[in-house]
Structure 1
């Protein structure tokens, strides 16, 4: 183990490598940073914030999601309340109408949200549902100046091309966790299927968004592996969710990791993925409570605002006030084009 002076020198070398030479660290260097953080986490958190400031200054990007189809999912992901394999009390919802989605969009239009994503439950939409959601995307694309994202399950190349044509710019599919830990959270599909969908999206011309959920029983090594696997896929943005244990799921009694371990995880993701948008996503209010502010000092440059899929988040106005109190400059704004 490095002594104090050696740790300081190592962190300086990593900073120089990333900022001056614009080179990525390797897995062993990430592990070394984790070992240093066990004795002084501020070294690593400060490094992450320095890297974030270098590439993004004080800016932060906001995104909002809408659950366009809820429940009756055939998959058995242990964290998810929408699975038919679990006994959760949620409201089942068929594919939402254009009117329902626009009503939600109109409610967030006064806030500076940069991206808007429709999320549907299940392995994938059937053909009729997919054509309906294409029409919805086309309408929003023509009438609202907002970046559109989609999270609709597994993709084919044909569907990816249709989404691109309808105005979608980014496709989302979380890896959830590292390749070596994935077997512990799902058995009905493979992580490779997720990777294939991301590759199809990227090859078609869509940006890709993929991250994971932390605090599902994995250790820090698994989280570091996930960050490197995301780097290898050349993802454009990385949402980091924190497990919100939901009654009726196999993870309902899972203990949430310590807030300092959450902050360190965020910092290591920034250091491993220095130029990517890293978003603090679902579960943050439940896990961090009034300590959420500290997360934005650990390299985060994105935030999911509004409600999630089956759980509620902080009100957008309240979230905006919190972010502005930290001196963060929110990027972009939604503006309606046709009045």
Structure 2
């Protein structure tokens, strides 16, 4: 290693150097998001093509596959670097548990309302509509659905999930993923035990193994086994004292081992990755939205033998495989006209109507009848 390069890495690895590192990344933002030619659908066996591409990569190119490339969105998308030399486009991610979060898009009722329909087929149609709009906006990954178990009454994002029952969450989440992946890669989130907002970055969720497997994981397992999502996102919180992105028990043993998950695991944004070696060894594949831990530090860890080359190769293999599958299965994006289309507006109205739940009908007040007139008041009255 050249002395200057060694000094640069040292400065970037200390605590004070994190801000410097962010600034150094800024000049790379636009080049990282340039349009590389998409890899064509592989003519060879997919696994052989993946192995060929991974085998042609340098260590630096492999590590580039394992982190995002900017601190803010480009055209409303979060991206990972392109590999122009190998013709391998980066991932383009967009948020959207209730609609594509990229400019104007169809807004659907929240997950809790959709859960109240008790209609998996309707939810599959919602997933397909969101996936189609995401693809039309240039995304390859839709960061949805949220399938966390609602346990804390003050969880500020409770409306994103389908409810409290693992069976119901699993059925609805499976349906959404099956629909969304007609057009994009779905990213199921947040694994695991995420059910509070204001302390989500530091809260430690404590539970025994039985509680974990009977309450917090069954719906994730069902979605992984039945819908085969291309991606899973880890949660911010710690689980029994260990960050979810550093839990080998959660990611390596259960998700990838027991359940046979074949996709890639990405962290939640910014504070979802807290280390290099523990996270890489646990089975985290991509740090988002940039490379504070999975860039220079990961390269250095591999060069020093603290992270085996095989760990990086396995992560990159998963990422590249999903990229090639996406190009193979979705060679042509939908037209922009599908965004906020009449069909999707009709669907969101249908879901809203189906989500109404009547808990008590006192004195037979509903359905309305024998009314001479009815006043509808408010900004949404139209």
- In terms of Rg, which structure is larger? 2
Is the TM value for this pair above 0.5?
Answer: no
Higher RCO structure (Cα 8 Å, ≥6 apart)? 1
TM-score by length of 2: 0.38
